[in-house]
Structure 1
């Protein structure tokens, strides 16, 4: 899965990206519709001035191009905002990243997720987009991802990841490297202290990991 360097720097040790999505492309299309119409209107007006009013092209074209730069710049900004707004699911948390140059990052730990609510309108079901509301035990309470693409897939993947985390499945993976084992044991200890796994479960998983050294 292709990721940018900024996102990679946000990931913790042994944290893996499961799914990346954005707002649906229809949201981008709605945002840039006015700019596209303005660009077309300026282009058509320039042609009419040249053809019907016999104004020299060397005058109309530069002026039309300069005026066109405004909606083109606004369109490029909308595309950049859409492209840089991401909703990421990892094996430990859900992350929302927004911003082009100044980045804002919000995340919810899967351990603290109490419930997930999905809202889809008729058009949302038709074009496969919707809102995801993540209710957590943190101070923020509710984290909402609005009009994201493939919300059903995102919700299902998130609930599956939460279940695996609570069961401790990530510690049973055959792909665990020897150098990762101490960090995994430390994570298990943290889960034990938080009451997510019992002392017996901690000792059992710890024994399994140590046997791989």
Structure 2
């Protein structure tokens, strides 16, 4: 994670990093919306060909264009579908969840960035939720609650139980480490 590594403090190192699951890089509803729209645009139903009204649009580089309401609607649906898919892709690419030697860092967003940091040892609980499908594909949601009731939930994380295990193992190691010096 480039963001987290840039802001590590002195003597802090990354212990474990979790990633969003690849299944959620594309928003399924947006993708279905997009594919159906493209299919209907390429395979216009016979009953629509002669019965749909046309409107005249002014497009600066094409001047006036006569277009059917059907094609205008499908073009809008394709645009909306692409934007939903793009938003899901960017959201997943900019999500970072890292355990460092001093804190847990959760960062989301590209232009509007949100960073939540919880000091190790200053959190109350970590909750892992996995659906049946999540257990099959090894993804789930992680909710971390800090002592000051700061709470962060990260959805669709790969191997959430491994994240939890890494966190508890590091905390246990850090607690008994002085005994071995």
Q: Could you tell me which runs of 5 or more consecutive residues in structure 1 were left unpaired when the two chains were aligned.
A: 170-200, 206-213
Q: What TM-score does the superposition give when structure 2 sets the normalisation length?
A: 0.71
C-alpha distance in 2 between matches for 1:65 and 1:148? 34
- Is 2:135 aligned against 1:125? yes
Match for residue 158 of structure 1? 167
The CA deviation at 1:66 is: 4.8
Match for residue 9 of structure 1? 6
The CA deviation at 1:76 is: 0.9
Matches within 5 A, 1:61-210: 66-67=75-76, 68-136=78-146, 138-140=147-149, 142-168=151-177
Instruction: List per-residue Cα deviations over 1:112-170 (Å, max 9, x = no partner).
Output: 2344333333222222122333344x31254433342201110111111112222346x
- Is 2:46 aligned against 1:36? no
The CA deviation at 1:79 is: 0.8
The CA deviation at 1:28 is: 4.3
Higher helix proportion, which one?
1
C-alpha distance in 2 between matches for 1:165 and 1:45? 59
The CA deviation at 1:96 is: 0.7
Instruction: List per-residue Cα deviations over 1:57-107 (Å, max 9, x = no partner).
Output: xx78x9689532332122112210121122111122111111121211111
- Cα gap change, 1:44/1:51 in structure 2, threshold over 3 Å: closer, same or farther? farther
Q: Report the count of equivalent residues.
A: 163
C-alpha distance in 1 between matches for 2:88 and 2:118? 26
Contact 2:106 2:117 in 1 (8 A): yes
Contact 1:24 1:147 in 2 (8 A): yes
Higher strand proportion, which one?
2
CA RMSD of aligned residues (A): 3.3
SS across alignment from 2:141: strand
Q: Which has the higher contact order (CA 8 A, sep 6+)?
A: 2
The CA deviation at 1:14 is: 1.8
